[in-house]
Structure 1
């Protein structure tokens, strides 16, 4: 399940992933949020708080995630992935080298630091 994280800076869109994440979750929560941010700011600052194992993302969810990434490829500015799954955190840090924008991994206890980092807009 994906739920929108409230009370973030206006230019930041964030979701919390828990339990099973499906294609419908991405279509109904993630994609509209990214689209609205893209239309309003022409750039994307994204926060994902991953409280479920990545194994709980269905195949359809991964496909929708890929579609979202490609559709907005040039608009990604900052992406923070907050999780206690070390492999995801390391992947996020490596992904930053091959994607437009910057991606950083944070532990769940570092959520405030992730939000602070996303709050600073790049010029």
Structure 2
């Protein structure tokens, strides 16, 4: 079962998973949270708690999780609080695919998770992958010069871009006299 945790500070949305989480748990909890963020034009800082009384996810819940990934661009950050080993490790392995920073905390570290979410800067364009570029961006090449003797309105390159040799003109409609 999924439920909203009301004890989270303002600006942080908290969801708690207990027992068996099914597809029907996402509809009243997660979907309204995402819809509200879209309507308000705000980004989501999510605290996702999976407590010791959690049992499992149903396949339908896994499918709903994948659908939530489509809205991940709305997320400013996500903190997962759990002591369930397989969930901790799979989240760590997949966190690099997320467009927002993701951190994993133990059940005793909930206060630290809330503090980390509150410390995230707000606003679009903030990324956890802010690294310097390894190579300089390539400049665009200028358009090849146009042959003025070509038909009006049709631009033809004077040199072949691959070999830098003069471009051949092929005009099948012009007959050339036979050479003897």
Q: Same fold (TM over 0.5)?
A: yes
Matches of 2:50 and 2:101, distance apart in 1: 18
Structure of greater relative contact order (alpha carbons < 8 Å, 6+ residues apart): 1
**Any idea what the Cα deviations from partners look like across 1:71-90, whole Å, max 9, x if unmatched?**
x1322221111110123223
Give the corresponding residue for 2:164.
none
Q: Which has the larger share of helix?
A: 1
For the Cα contact (< 8 Å) 2:12–2:47, is it kept in 1?
A: yes
Matches of 2:38 and 2:14, distance apart in 1: 13
Gaps of 5+ in 1: none
SS at 1:19's partner residue?
A: strand
* Greater C-alpha Rg: 2
For the Cα contact (< 8 Å) 1:95–1:103, is it kept in 2?
A: no
TM-superposed CA distance for 1:92, in Å, is 2.2
Give the corresponding residue for 2:28.
28
Matches of 1:11 and 1:57, distance apart in 2: 27
Aligned length: 120
For residues 66-77 of structure 1, what are the structure 2 equivalents within 5 Å?
66-70=66-70, 72-77=71-76
Give the corresponding residue for 2:62.
62
SS at 2:7's partner residue?
A: coil
TM-superposed CA distance for 1:41, in Å, is 4.2
For residues 1-123 of structure 1, what are the structure 2 equivalents within 5 Å?
1-51=1-51, 52-53=54-55, 56-70=56-70, 72-123=71-122
Which runs of structure 1 show a deviation greater than 4 angstroms over 4 or more consecutive aligned residues? none
